[in-house]
Homo-oligomer: A and B are copies of this chain.
């Protein structure tokens, strides 16, 4: 049994989050960005990332314009209200918060799995964190050079 590649979020979700942070950081500078520029800055496969970003357009997390001088952008005034949880649930759904950690059909206080009370606290913290973290905050960290999206 060789190890899995299990991580907190799916690859789709990782790409989606990074793409949103990069687009937001450029929207702060009033720059619309093309998908090619996005993937250069987050090191992700272009067509796959385009699909994920496209899905987030449908979810109204990000806006797009087709054609020359087109690209993606996020409305400056909405950036403080777009929370990480919106992006994560749009891509990965809510099972990481609401599903049973041991895979039972539903997570249920009345008929808990053996790890239930251990999990609920961790998941509540994760949910709270994603709920209170805005795309604005993360984009500011990137723009100020405090954080990076590639290495």
Contacts and interface: CB of A to CB of B under 8 A. Distances in A.
Interface stretch (A62-70, A73-81, A90-98): A90-98
Given A116-B147, A149-B114, A92 B51 contact: no
A40 to B, nearest CB: 16
Given A118-B133, A119-B8, A133-B118, A1 B148 contact: no
B10 A101 contact: no
Interface residues of A, number: 60
Interface string A40-71: 00000000000110110010000000000000
A102 B18 contact: yes
Contacts of A58: 1
A150 interface: yes
A147 B112 contact: yes
A19 B34 CA distance: 49
A84 B99 CA distance: 19
Contact of A10 (B6, B104, B125, B146): B6
Contacts of A141: 114
A114 B4 contact: no
Contact of A1 (B14, B55, B111, B121): B55
